[in-house]
Structure 1
């Protein structure tokens, strides 16, 4: 069995190159012409022997030793929707220059079956090759084997080398963009309010001490029991808050399934939440996370601890959805029960029509009474392009009218939310994170 496996492995490592088949075709042509010119028959046999000899010499050169070494270098994790560099280290141990073809068994999510890198290495040369992968969904990505096809200067046959076992790398939400958005948030804050140093949110419900009432104290804070004992007015003092609770709430229902440039709206919302949470934590606010569809999914309590970003990142990675109908009533009940302190909530969702908003408006109004609610929803840039195109026929006119109606509905939805006193962000998926961060910085600057 061992010998059979060796023979099978040897057979699978030998490949004939295109140069061999071109040479063979030329020899066959000579034999065909020899039917009309018999003198060419001898030349054909000589050429055939030469091809066999060169093939044997090439075989001896390539299989005399393990001439190629290769190693794939994968990152610990991949960043969704970002350019992830993958490195392949190569070394030529042959005593001659070789032409190499690198073939990777990429994860099935990429659906790339024609991956090929060609290069040449001189004898004893080391080289590192880089290629870029851009994932478009979270999850586990399984890499197969790394194959290198080596070819000598004769170029008649190729020897296939197989390296690396199957490897798995997890793809997380877009963490590579965090540094860029650090710089963006600082610039945006300086533009909005360059001199603001201390921001007081107001007092929380966290009791500090009881003091005598002085003119200017809030009458609502009078402690009547303590006043009766002391026979003078006493007021409760609370700890001064310099931060607020900020929650990102992600609708993981069917509204977020629509794709745009290979990413679903849900993936855009997840990437935006990660970057926005990073910025908010940098501003000393407490950040948390909710996801919901038919029921409440992932939950991270708003905190400003050292490992908060890791908790949010892991929670975002583990978001699962079957894209069912979202229940905003469940979201309202959950926030009313668990969020006892007024918080800033960024709700990522999508409304396709005015009727879709009307069905959820009562829950949004109720939420906005308890918290400062910002509804984040999406415009469709493809429809904007369609609405601005020149019409070439009746079908184009119909398409343009439908696109314009959809865009008008989106503006009506935004105006309706504004009239109800609900903050909102209407943005394209590509500009989502910038729009959300700018809205957050605006709210901080206005001390809402």
Structure 2
């Protein structure tokens, strides 16, 4: 027998083609790891070994090219059958096919290969295995025999478990053993990732799992995957069901809940929030009430007293419905990471926290996000629904590697926000060009509005300046960091000279100083 007609050549060809099919599945089939075609490899190798031995013995006069053409056609048909019909052999069929595959090795012995009739028993055994496999193949259920529905809440919190429910229904007359996996994107971590369960005839099963996300944004779950075995367990079919769902992962509002709880118990000092003493008196009328000995005589309403025949005083409160507008820079300078969060993530967390505080004080809150263009604008408004509007406008906003256009942002805000407001710009400045722009535009806002510039520090730039007794290369780093720090101090001084309030803080410490600045502005009646 020539070497090229040796049956082992068939094994090489078979493995090569089946590895190609597997590669296509993984890279272009959009299947999860559960659906790899690994089970075809031993079965195809055994079948190729048997077929090649039979062809080599029965058609010894055939050329090498024709031999490989026939074998390649058979194996390509097997690969196409697996790829397009989504049907694969299960372990029992692999074990069953291993019997004739092992016996076919006898054909390699010189004593057996000389006998022209030696392949007849093996061919009969192959036919029996093929018949059993074909009969069991017909028992595979169709797509319409099952259905999958997904139930989940649209809103989720960052880093918190989000419950998802899958309802799997079996409409066939037979019980089936199924594997179910949801087609979640890689940004979501699923626990458990897969379900294995028996499904009785004409029944349904409710499967619950939890999804975790470490990233904000909108995530779509397009499909759910189901794997089902044939009646004898020799085959398995993979079915995809289009049940698209979108989950919006919002920033974690745990800090807002903590603030509300501590505010009700007068323990805001635990968060670092100062109880600022008000300068002057509140000047907005709130209500009339009975006089008490501690009241100021100036607050007595003599007209109401005469009408009621009882001393009545006026109660005053701080000005309500004042306006607060955030300007969030989403450009390249906000991409720096502090821990696992970017500067923009810290800015969003602080913005949402202060928005909650301002809305609780009866003020109106708005938001403008920008980079090289205007992304979102939420007009200032109050009420309990405004917090949801701010969340929806910012949850899927990420920093972009573009230069921020401060001129466009300030011109847009000037055109759309004409009433006096506290304008809070949160950005990161490390160059003179952007610093001059920000200083100029914030200075122009002074008078008509009350601008507050929040400059975020980068630990990589400022930590070397705070190092104790630096030596060697650390000494040069400390010198450069000190120059940048002096430059930042000059930028802050220029802002103060233009009547612009400012904060210079590390991003992880932003929330508390920002709230304290707001409360101080309210107490001093600067708006």
Alignment match, 1:278:
356
Alignment match, 2:324:
246
Contact 2:422 2:449 in 1 (8 A): yes
Distance in 2 between residues matched to 1:332 and 1:66, nearest whole Å: 58
Alignment match, 2:246:
169
Q: Is 1:192 matched with 2:269?
A: yes
Alignment match, 2:85:
12
Alignment match, 1:325:
404
CA change 1:64–1:330 in 2 (3 A) is closer
Alignment match, 1:76:
154
**What SS does the aligned partner of 1:122 have?**
strand
Deviation at 1:120, TM superposition (A): 1.9
Alignment match, 1:126:
205
How many residues in Structure 1 have an aligned counterpart in Structure 2?
392
Alignment match, 2:506:
427
Deviation at 1:128, TM superposition (A): 0.9
Alignment of 1:81-96 (within 5 A): 84-91=162-169, 95-96=174-175
Structure 1 residue corresponding to 2:105, chosen from 27, 32, 36: 32
Distance in 2 between residues matched to 1:340 and 1:64, nearest whole Å: 65
Deviation at 1:183, TM superposition (A): 1.6
CA change 1:290–1:10 in 2 (3 A) is closer
TM-superposition CA deviations, 1:42-74 (whole Å, max 9, x none): 886676456435534543554389664422224
Deviation at 1:268, TM superposition (A): 5.1
Distance in 2 between residues matched to 1:197 and 1:415, nearest whole Å: 26
Deviates more, 1:261-270 or 1:11-20: 261-270
CA change 1:196–1:135 in 2 (3 A) is closer
Q: Is 1:346 matched with 2:424?
A: yes
* Higher RCO (C-alpha 8 Å, min separation 6): 1
Deviation at 1:372, TM superposition (A): 5.0
Deviation at 1:203, TM superposition (A): 6.3
Deviation at 1:349, TM superposition (A): 1.0
Rg larger in 1 or in 2?
A: 2
Alignment match, 1:287:
365
**What SS does the aligned partner of 2:378 have?**
strand
TM-superposition CA deviations, 1:20-52 (whole Å, max 9, x none): 446545642431245338599788667645643
**What SS does the aligned partner of 1:351 have?**
coil
Distance in 2 between residues matched to 1:190 and 1:119, nearest whole Å: 47
Q: Is 1:178 matched with 2:253?
A: yes
**What SS does the aligned partner of 1:15 have?**
strand
Deviation at 1:292, TM superposition (A): 4.2
Deviation at 1:287, TM superposition (A): 1.6
Deviation at 1:148, TM superposition (A): 0.7
Q: Is 1:375 matched with 2:448?
A: no
Deviates more, 1:284-293 or 1:366-375: 366-375
Distance in 1 between residues matched to 2:122 and 2:361, nearest whole Å: 81
Q: Is 1:148 matched with 2:226?
A: yes
Contact 1:300 1:315 in 2 (8 A): yes
The normalised TM-score by structure 1 is: 0.64
Distance in 2 between residues matched to 1:330 and 1:257, nearest whole Å: 19
Gaps of 5+ in 1: 1-7, 207-216, 218-238, 390-396
Deviation at 1:158, TM superposition (A): 0.9
**What SS does the aligned partner of 2:429 have?**
coil
Q: Is 1:440 matched with 2:519?
A: no
**What SS does the aligned partner of 1:164 have?**
strand
CA change 1:99–1:241 in 2 (3 A) is same
Contact 1:136 1:263 in 2 (8 A): no
